[in-house]
Amino acid sequence: MIQDYCKLRTPPSGHKPGDKEPCYKSSLCAEHSGSCSWAALRGGVTSGTVGCCGSAFIARELPSSAGLRVPWCPAASCAGASSELFTLTYGALVTQLCKDYENDEDVNKQLDKMGYNIGVRLIEDFLARSNVGRCHDFRETADVIAKVAFKMYLGITPSITNWSPAGDEFSLILENNPLVDFVELPDNHSSLIYSNLLCGVLRGALEMVQMAVEAKFVQDTLKGDGVTEIRMRFIRRIEDNLPAGEE
Amino acid sequence: MPRVSSRSVDKLVHLQENGRCITKLENMGFRVGQGLIERFTKDTARFKDELDIMKFICKDFWTTVFKKQIDNLRTNHQGIYVLQDNKFRLLTQMSAGKQYLEHASKYLAFTCGLIRGGLSNLGIKSIVTAEVSSMPACKFQVMIQKL
């Protein structure tokens, strides 16, 4: 749906150049929540308001057809582009860490530490943007992590499976992991947990909402498994208000 | 005397560490820039000349990475370009003036590498440096190296 919309070369009817109000609503964006706005602008590049998928629209002037504005939809190509920036940057980071530390275990630890530092701050951004209330139990927490948090930051929705009988452990199954696009693990790094940053993020973020958890990868597509699986285990509730620690 | 000299040794070590970190960040940016430019220019037309490439970096490339264009491009038409971004996205959350100015270089190194890497895969060898006088505005200076 979004792809077809982006191939439009002329503004939807009723819209005149210079109009700043969005005239095109969400009828094309049946699969995306929220309203879709398209703003024709006088000249140059500027950004529209939040479009589908929570990302911004940018109307771009075509060099060869002055006067026509083409909506450049992030969901079609640019979100691809900005997710590539993210994937490539993460890859460069892991590569640099592998050069700096001799063994994979140290790299794994560093990734976890970095993830933790990100997580303790990310939780604030998440709570501010998502407006979710307090979770009443670990099941609700799992739902929020998979359906809201992962969707917001990585654009994917992992599924939740394998609940332990006591309800304190579950698995997040990621069909595709945006961090590992274009990535192959070389043979001499077989014990590297490439996406270990994610475990640190989960651990740090949940610690800031009074939950001590353990997160670890039990399956990884990079190592030949069919899916990527993160096992989350609830350790205990943190009663004291720990200061936002940095390791 | 010993206290003074050990402090200056510490400072020297700290500066060296800082320099090494900035080099590493710049190299990381270089690799990412090379990859990104390949993806972005897959379907674009051939660039007419160096200035065309710089305009691409200022408009399309900057917009895709930072969601805004470069505000001002200046050149001496002899291989030096200055790209000015008045509200650089990586600095807006840090300060709105001179506070933390001494730390800005760490946050600009990756982007310098990004530009250098992008240009490199478009066939241009360059040296990219950044300067900040008042955040969040900053200037990237690109010096094209004639081979």
The pLDDT tens digits of the residues spanning A199-211 come to 999 999 999 999 9
CATH assignment of the domain containing B54: 3.30.1380.20
pLDDT at B34: 95
Residue B83 within a domain: yes
pLDDT at B143: 96
Query: Is A47 an interface residue toward B (CB < 8 Å)?
Result: yes
Please report, rounded to a whole number, the percentage of residues in chain A having pLDDT higher than 90. Answer: 53
Residue B27 within a domain: yes
**What pLDDT tens digit does each residue of chain B (147 aa) get?**
666 677 888 888 887 888 888 999 999 999 999 999 998 998 888 899 999 999 999 999 999 999 999 999 999 989 999 999 999 999 998 889 899 998 899 999 999 999 999 999 999 999 999 999 999 999 999 999 986
Residue B96 within a domain: yes
Residues of B whose CB is below 8 A from A89:
28, 32, 110
Does the distance separating the beta carbons of B32 and A47 come in below 8 Å? no
Which pLDDT band, with edges at 50, 70 and 90, does A108 fall under?
A: very high
Residue B132 within a domain: yes
Does the distance separating the beta carbons of B28 and A85 come in below 8 Å? no
Residue B33 within a domain: yes
Whole-Å CA distances, A182 to A17, A84, B41: 41, 10, 18
Taking 90 as the threshold, does the pLDDT of residue A182 lie above it? no
Does the distance separating the beta carbons of B39 and A92 come in below 8 Å? no
Tens-digit pLDDT profile for residues A203-236? 999 999 999 999 999 999 999 999 999 999 999 9
Please enumerate, as own/partner, the contacts of A161-170 that have beta carbons within 8 Å and a separation of 24 or more.
A162/A231, A163/A139, A167/A137, A167/A138, A167/A139, A168/A138, A168/A233, A168/A234, A169/A231, A169/A232, A169/A233, A169/A234, A170/A138, A170/A142, A170/A231, A170/A232
Closest CA in chain B for residue A72: B64
Whole-Å CA distances, B79 to A5, A22, A196: 41, 42, 43
Residue B1 within a domain: no
Taking residue B1's Cβ as centre, other Cβ atoms within 10 Å add up to 5
Which pLDDT band, with edges at 50, 70 and 90, does A150 fall under?
A: very high
pLDDT at A239: 84
For chain B, what is the domain count? 1
- ipTM for this model: 0.85
Domain enclosing residue B109, as ranges: 6-144
